[in-house]
Every structure is written in structure tokens, then in C-alpha cells.
Amino acid sequence: MPANKVIKLVSRPKEMPTLDNFSIEEAQIPSPAQGEVLLRTLYISVDPYMRGRMNDAKSYAPPFALNEAIAGGVISEVVESYAEGFQKGDVVLGNSTWTLYSVAKPERLTVIDPNIAPITTALGVLGMPGLTAYFGLLDIGQPKEGETVVVSGAAGAVGMIVGQIAKIKGARVVGIAGSDEKNEYLIKELGFDAAINYKTTADLHAELAQACPDGIDVYFDNVGGAISDAALSLINKNARIPICGQIALYNLGKADVGNRIQSVLLVNTALMQGFLVGQYAARFPEAVSQLAQWLQQKKLKYAENIVDGFEQTPHAFIGLFTGDNLGKQLVKVAEPSNK
Amino acid sequence: MPANKVIKLVSRPKEMPTLDNFSIEEAQIPSPAQGEVLLRTLYISVDPYMRGRMNDAKSYAPPFALNEAIAGGVISEVVESYAEGFQKGDVVLGNSTWTLYSVAKPERLTVIDPNIAPITTALGVLGMPGLTAYFGLLDIGQPKEGETVVVSGAAGAVGMIVGQIAKIKGARVVGIAGSDEKNEYLIKELGFDAAINYKTTADLHAELAQACPDGIDVYFDNVGGAISDAALSLINKNARIPICGQIALYNLGKADVGNRIQSVLLVNTALMQGFLVGQYAARFPEAVSQLAQWLQQKKLKYAENIVDGFEQTPHAFIGLFTGDNLGKQLVKVAEPSNK
């Protein structure tokens, strides 16, 4: 068995993270105790929310400790099982360390059925990003037929699912993303009605107003900052604004000062709500079942951006903030042994 | 019968309104047509929301027209009735002009029963301000026993009802108001747990944090601006923030730039919602009945600040923005004839 490797956070990024903030070290392969399993990492998920955990600040998840392994969504294969219900060869989803091997207790793991969809979807459309899109859009956004839904970060793992679910619900869907290639994908492949490149537009507000002739009923916010200012200035009466992420701010390194939103919410009797997918844990089975059905019906498509090699994980993570990814960003660490 | 008088908006205030923005003119007493009533004004309500209608800007209510009578909540007495269901001497609530006499169609009027409570309560605790407090707090704020509710503009017509309903629901209640006299009233007369004078405090955030040792679960926002910044920095997980008014901004004359709230809502999975009492029109009877019951049970008290004389109306209106009023600000124009 090869040696283990671990990726640690060795310094806290102040603004944009750099490779210097991470170390890749050799380590011992841990030994599972009775009731535990030894896992071999197959795919690592890198997600924007992890940036917040790199700060030493109060947030919804505790900060990552310095000089310890980073942890997040990981797909692994069971190598040794001393836990009931898990067999060697099972492919599992868990919140695990950025390591080649790890041990875990079974209550933190979910066995992935590879017959439903490719296993990587457990980190994407059938996993946290898909669930985030599902609950944020349907529970808070509540789009109705004929309404206009705008989603920022539209070409990301969450955004592209949001837009497609909104289309399924009969809404007009406008995406905001950072490249013409992404926007072409959103319109041609995913059926978005319009998509705006916020990096090249001369006037985001004007272009968005043109793309939303009836105003905006739901603004699904993944980014915050100036992009959101433009969207919020166009909301309709009784608009709903799920706050899913604020990726434009994660590397800002200073206070987020700008147009306050309270007057806009008041005048439009609008609702803005921050949410975390974990709030909806009791309803995950309902959502996964619906998302899987839409996948099978080809009503829902997904994109993955997979880089190869454990050592590429920090680089892939940083790329989330420069817009490298179309869809879900994953790192492939190893093939399942039964392939 | 004396001549009629009318108060018109003759210029739009840019920041704080001044007496120059208004004219008081002699006018004809209007003649009611068949199906209408002639009303003699008894009490005029001045309300902060009316400031928004003095701007020539899109809002939830259309702007007041220049050189026409201002209109708002008014209690009147029927002088002549050509409408079924209304008799001479009836005291009625309506949205009427700032005039001594006006005509109205009956569908815009509600007869006030003087046996339930003094008729002025129809413009206060049993009227728009009371209903605003009731629905904003209970429907959006949803305070639970033991939670902490903070209300800004606490000594205003809406704020003091909000605080008392929150006490009825078992919450810890902290008010923010602009004078020590007001705050003494809130604590000693209305049972608030604490009250902070935002005008004299050296550090609003620190004082508020001390008054809210368990954080803030509901922030009922009447004011916006820096006061709200302090409150919002102390919200708990799953906090609810009804946006009722933004009086600190109404005379600002420039964009409301400051700390954006989206990240705070996200990290705390909190809800912020703008609302107007009119959204709840179908449930007004339920609310008036409950508010009247609390009044009779002495669980709810109210304060009125009544100035005498029709010509004082612009002055009373301007006083809303300098904090002249404790509770509901009214202008007494005439006595009911049956008194």
C-alpha cells in the first residue's frame, strides 16, 4: 500500500488564496478501529464556501485549524471495513480530509449507488450543490410560471441547476456568468433564455434590464457585490431573494460597503433570506429523488470540471475564484477498484 | 357653515421637509353627489411613510401631486349623507384629504364604534400603526418565548406596539429611541426590558450588545441606517428582520450607502422582509379584535401626541422626523358634534 498524503492549511489567506497557503505532506495511513472503515479517496470536491472556513472568523462552519488537514465533501472507496453495513469496495460520500486515505465512522458516510448516475454526481447535481439549488430556489425563491428568475454565478455547480429547475417550473431564466463560452453553454445546452457576461458588459444594469423586460421576481444570489446591486435594482413587487453565496466578497479582505438593500426590500415588499443546505437535511431524500428523476428525464443536465491528481486540489480550489470551472469542480484522485 | 381649507404640497422636499413645502388655502366646501357623504374632519394622522409620497419617485404608493391636497388617514364625522349605511353624526375612518371638509364614497370609509375605545385609536393602536406592528412582528418576526426582540423607532406609534406585543409573547424586549424621557416611558409604562438612547450613547453597538446578552432573534426595523447596522451585527442564527420603515433615510437626499447585509443574512441563515400593512387586509378583523382585547385587558397601552389645529398639520408632520412625538402623532381639527 502506498504512503498517505495530506493537504494542510498552513496559513490563512487574506484575500485571494495562493498555493503558499497550503502544504502537501507525506503521512501515515491511519488505522481504523472497531466500528470504523478505512477509506481510499477517489474524488475531492472543492467548494466556494470552504474559503470562509479558511478565515479565523465566526461563521456557520468553524474555521479550519492551521497545520491540520482540510476537510470537505469527498467520494471514497472502502478499503477495510470494521463497521456494520459497509463492505470493501463500497463507494461512499462523506465529509473527509484532503488525504489519500482516511478513517471514518459509518454514521458520517452514505453509500453511493453507481446505478443511479455516475458516482461523481454525489458531489454535484445529486449532492450538496444540487440540493442547495433545489431548496434555495423552490423553498425560498418559489418561482411561478411566467415569472423571471435571475441567477448569478450561473455557470457554477449550483447556478446551473438553479436555472434549469426554474425552467422546469416555467420561468424565464437569465444567467449572469463570467465568460461568453459559459453563457453559450447556458443558453444552448441548458435552455437559459438569456445570459450576461458581467466581465465584458459595458453596462450590467442596462443589459440585465433588457434581458428582464418584466423585471425580476426571483434573484438567486451566489455572488453579492456590484452584480447583485444591478439585479436588486430591478426586482418586482413581492420578489424573493435567496442568498446562497457571496463569492465576490470571499477574497475582498475588507468590509462589504455599498448600496444598502433595506429600502429596496421595503418598497417592493420583498423577501431576502440566507440559507444553508443543511437546514433541509430532513428533506434530502425527497430532493435527491426528484433531481434523479429530472436527470433520467433529461430535463436536467450537469457539467463537471475534473482535474486529475491529488496534488492539484489547492490549484482547483483557487480556480473557483477566477472562474475556471464550468459546473462542478472536482479533483480526481483515483479510480474505483471495481472499474 | 364656515369655509373649507386645504393643505397642499407646493414643492417637493429634497431632504428634511419645511413649512415652505406646504400651502394652506381657502377652498369651496365640496358638494356630495348621490351615493356620497360630506365629511367634516376631526383628526388627521401624520405618518412617516407620507414623506416617501412627497418624492417624485417610484414607490409602493404613487407620489402626491404638486399643488393638490395631501391625503392620508383621517377621522371625520358625516355631515350630510347620500349614501346607504351612513348617517349624519357617524364617525368614520378613511383615506381623506387634508381639508376641513371632504366628500367620500362609502366603500372607502369605515364607521368607528366609539364604545370600543376612544375614536383616535382608529388611527393608532387599532388602526394602521397597530396593524403594522401586529402583522410585521407576528407574521414575519414570529417572536418565541425567551427570545430577544429589538425594535428601533421604539417610541413611535408602531414601535411601542411592537414592543408590547413582543412582551405579551414572552420575549425580552429592547427598544431604541431618541430621548431619555421616551425610554423611561418604554421601560416604566410599557414594560420594555431595556431601552437605548441612540442620540446620546457613546457606543450604540456596545450598549446594545450589553442589553442583548443572548443576541438578537428579531430586529423590527423602523429606521435603517447606522442604528440598524448596530442591531444587525448582533443577530442570532435564524433571526427574522421585518423591514417596516427606514425613517433615518427618508430625508437623506442621497443614496443609502453602508454595510451590505447579505453576508450577515447568509452566515446567520436569517430572513429580512419588507412589508406593507395592506398586504394583510384580509386579516385586519382578526388583528383589530386581538388588539382591542389586549387593550381591554390592559396588556397593551398606547400613547398619543395630539396637536391642536388644522393649520398645525405640516408642523406636526415635520416633527415626526425630529422625534417630537411619543406614540401616535395626530392633529385635532374639531370635536365630534355629539360630544
Q: Which pLDDT does position B250 carry in this prediction?
A: 85
Q: Which pLDDT does position A60 carry in this prediction?
A: 75
Q: Which pLDDT does position A339 carry in this prediction?
A: 52
Q: Is A275 on the interface with B (CB under 8 A)?
A: yes
| Residue A18 to residue A5: CA distance in whole angstroms | 20
Question: A-chain residues within 8 Å CB-CB of B237?
Answer: 60
Q: Is B209 on the interface with A (CB under 8 A)?
A: no
Q: A-B interface: how many C-beta pairs under 8 angstroms?
A: 117
Cell of residue B17, nine digits: 421637509
Q: Which pLDDT does position A2 carry in this prediction?
A: 66
Nearest to A246 among B243, B262, B271 (CB): B262
**Do B258 and A261 lie within an 8 Å CB cutoff?**
no
**Do B266 and A243 lie within an 8 Å CB cutoff?**
yes
**Do B271 and A273 lie within an 8 Å CB cutoff?**
yes
The tens digit of pLDDT for each residue in A182-194 reads: 999 999 999 999 9
Q: Is A58 on the interface with B (CB under 8 A)?
A: yes
| Residue A234 to residue A240: CA distance in whole angstroms | 12
The DSSP secondary structure of A233-273, one letter per residue, reads TTEEEEEEEEE---TTTTT--S--EEE--HHHHHHTT-EEE
**Do A257 and B255 lie within an 8 Å CB cutoff?**
no
The tens digit of pLDDT for each residue in A301-311 reads: 999 999 999 99
**Do A261 and B262 lie within an 8 Å CB cutoff?**
yes
Nearest to B274 among A224, A256, A269 (CB): A269
Question: B-chain residues within 8 Å CB-CB of A258?
Answer: 257, 260
pLDDT, mean of each 10-residue run, chain A (339 residues): 89 96 96 96 96 86 93 97 96 97 94 94 97 98 98 97 98 97 97 97 97 98 96 98 92 87 96 97 96 96 97 97 92 88
Using 50 as the pLDDT threshold, list the residues of chain B that sit under it. Answer: none
| Residue A228 to residue A244: CA distance in whole angstroms | 12
Query: Nearest-CA distance from A50 to chain B in Å?
Result: 13
Cell of residue B158, nine digits: 408602531
Q: Which residues does residue B39 pair with via DSSP β-bridges, in sequence order?
A: B78, B102
Q: Which pLDDT does position B324 carry in this prediction?
A: 82
Q: Which pLDDT does position B184 carry in this prediction?
A: 97
Parallel, antiparallel, or unpaired: how do β-strands B37-45 and B101-104 relate? Answer: antiparallel
| Closest by Cα among A205, A207, A212, A252 to A233 | A205
Whether the ipTM is more than 0.90: the answer is: yes
| Residue B151 to residue B216: CA distance in whole angstroms | 10
Mutation target vs B (from A243, A259, A279; most B CBs, 10 A cutoff): A243
Q: Is A253 on the interface with B (CB under 8 A)?
A: no
Collapsed DSSP state (helix, strand, coil) of residue A106 = helix
Query: Nearest-CA distance from B264 to chain A in Å?
Result: 8
The DSSP secondary structure of B211-271, one letter per residue, reads H-TT-EEEEEBSS-HHHHHHHHTTEEEEEEEEE---TTTTT--S--EEE-SHHHHHHTT-E
The tens digit of pLDDT for each residue in A69-82 reads: 999 999 999 999 99
**Do A257 and B261 lie within an 8 Å CB cutoff?**
no
**Do A256 and B255 lie within an 8 Å CB cutoff?**
no
Mutation target vs B (from A59, A139, A241, A260; most B CBs, 10 A cutoff): A260
Collapsed DSSP state (helix, strand, coil) of residue B310 = helix
Q: Which helix (H) or strand (E) segment is A289 a member of? A: helix A284-296
Q: At what angle do helices B284-296 and B159-168 cross, to 10 degrees?
A: 80
| Residue B248 to residue B251: CA distance in whole angstroms | 7
Q: Is B254 on the interface with A (CB under 8 A)?
A: no
For each of the domains in chain B, give its residue range(s) and CATH number, in order of start: 4-124+303-332 (3.90.180.10), 128-279 (3.40.50.720)
Nearest to A258 among B260, B265, B271 (CB): B260
Q: Which pLDDT does position B1 carry in this prediction?
A: 56
Residues 6+ apart with CB under 8 A from A321: A16, A17, A48, A51, A247, A250, A251
Mutation target vs A (from B262, B269, B275; most A CBs, 10 A cutoff): B262
Other beta carbons within 10 angstroms of residue B224's beta carbon come to 24
Q: Is A247 on the interface with B (CB under 8 A)?
A: no
